[in-house]
Amino acid sequence: MALRSKLPKSRIEDRISGLPDAILCHKLSFCTTREAVQTNVLSHRWKNVWSSVPILDLDEQKYHMDYVYCTLPLRYVSSSFAQFVNGLLSLRSPINIHRFHLKTTMTSDASLIYDWSSTTVKHNVVELDLCVETPTEPHFEIPRNLFLCNTLVSLKLLLSQDVSAVTPGATCFPCLNADAPNLEELDIYYDFLVSYSVKDAKYLRKAKIDFLDVDELDNLHCFLGLAGRVRRLFAGIINVTYLSVSAAILGVLDIRDHHLLSTLNDLKHLVVQVETCYCLQSLPTLLNLSPNLEHLEFENTTKFCADDNEDEFVHGWDAPELVPVCLFSHLKTICLREIKGCPNEMARL
């Protein structure tokens, strides 16, 4: 029986390292960013490959669980992640960033998050996913250059506390559009900064829009151009048969501009999310936009009963001059949900 001879070590070929940078970067894009950076110790060939990976995945909690908690005292945990991200972005090659995902759970320095987000715009980011779970000091301000980013196509924001932003009007997010001929459902949650332009959505039948928190109505001066974005959004959902919407959404419009909104002729089922009586000011407009409405639901979104303070609801409702057409022509059912029996709820009824 012939014995198999072993190949000399000098003849063992490292085929992976011989691949082009583009292929290596593509492979590393499936790893976490920290894992990609760690490949720099493999050999001289791998020393700077990580700096050209087009996808950055930075999860502070995962970073801590995988590395920091095992090596550093707790008081250094947050600064360690910040140092890692600072070093990562400062040593990165000029290659564009396709997707940037950042999730912070302990970093509270708003200036750091601002700088990181702003840097991705300079690298022509296409997809930006930003999740800030820890209240920042001072409150986080959306980088102004983000609103003018010509390459940004996808934006996800999940922010824990107050956020300030001054948008540059109609030029906000020039490439963040949706040409969606096959879109059937649209669900928007609290993305009040985005200029939505939904085009060719002829199959869109169901939409849910939790677009503006009632508490933000006092801060509308921070969000210039918001009224125009509401109008454009409504223009893109004219084919829906089911719509769930925050009643406060029309609070951003001057009452004289309500006639500029598109009529929802196909709408049969409307769910109105109501948090305070102030929201009811826009109810007649919603009903007038829905001439063929058959089912109307009021969903109480108040998280707890407020104190018995009449000032909170005494000015919440002005009866319309004319009864909306749907109320006496097509409407079949009215449903009230999540009623807790609070004083302000009784006032709405």
Tokens describing residue 154: 């996808």
In this structure, of 11-25, 151-165, 211-225, the range with the lowest mean pLDDT score is: 211-225
Query: CA–CA separation, 299 vs 9, rounded Å?
Result: 72
Is 247 in contact with 280 (CB distance < 8 Å)? yes
Q: How far is CA 101 from the centre of its chain?
A: 12
Per-residue pLDDT of 268-281, as tens digits, reads 999 988 776 656 77
Strands 178-179 and 242-246: unpaired
Least confident of 18-27, 132-141, 303-312: 303-312
The radius of gyration of the chain from alpha carbons, rounded to an integer in Å, stands at 26
Beta-bridged to residue 336, according to DSSP, are 298
Greater confidence (294 vs 318) lies with 294
Query: How far is 73 from 60, CA to CA, in rounded Å?
Result: 16
- For residues 88 and 301, the model is more confident at 88
CB 222 within 8 A of CB 192: no
Model pLDDT, residue 215: 53
Question: How high is the pLDDT of residue 197?
Answer: 63
SS3 content of the chain, % helix, strand, coil (to 5): 40, 20, 45
pLDDT at 234: 81
DSSP E strands in the chain: the ranges are 55-59, 99-104, 127-132, 140-141, 154-159, 163-164, 178-179, 185-189, 198-199, 206-210, 242-246, 269-274, 295-300, 333-337
What's the whole-number mean pLDDT along residues 88-97?
92
| Listed ranges 80-84, 179-183, 184-188, 226-230; the one with the highest mean pLDDT | 80-84
Q: Are strands 99-104 and 127-132 parallel, antiparallel or unpaired?
A: parallel
pLDDT for the residue numbered 192 = 54
Across 265-304, b (16+ Cβ under 10 Å) vs e yields eebbbbbbbbbbbbbbbbbbbbbbbbebbebbebbbbbee
Contact 118, 143 (CB under 8 A): yes
Residues 186 and 223: their CA atoms lie apart, in Å, by: 23
- Please tell me which of 184-188, 210-214, 276-280 the model is most confident about, judged by mean pLDDT: 184-188
In the predicted model, is pLDDT for residue 208 greater than 90? no
Report whether pLDDT(2) > 70: no
Q: What is the mean pLDDT of residues 93-110?
A: 90
Higher-confidence position of 181 and 193: 181
Backbone φ and ψ for 55, nearest 5 degrees, come out as -120, 125
Q: State the average pLDDT over residues 326-345.
A: 78
For 296-326, the pLDDT digits (tens) are 998 887 654 555 444 444 445 567 778 888 8
pLDDT for the residue 14: 74
pLDDT tens-digit readout, 38-80? 888 888 889 889 999 999 999 998 888 876 555 545 444 557 8
* pLDDT in the model for residue 308: 47
Q: Please, how many CA atoms are within 13 Å of residue 33, restricted to the half-sphere of its CB?
A: 25
Q: How many CA atoms lie within 13 A of 331 on its CB side?
A: 16
The DSSP symbol for 154 reads E
Check residue 230 and give its pLDDT. 76
Q: What is the mean pLDDT of residues 247-266?
A: 73
The percentage of residues in the chain with a pLDDT greater than 70, rounded to a whole number, is 64
The amino acid that residue 16 corresponds to is I
Mean pLDDT of 93-114: 90
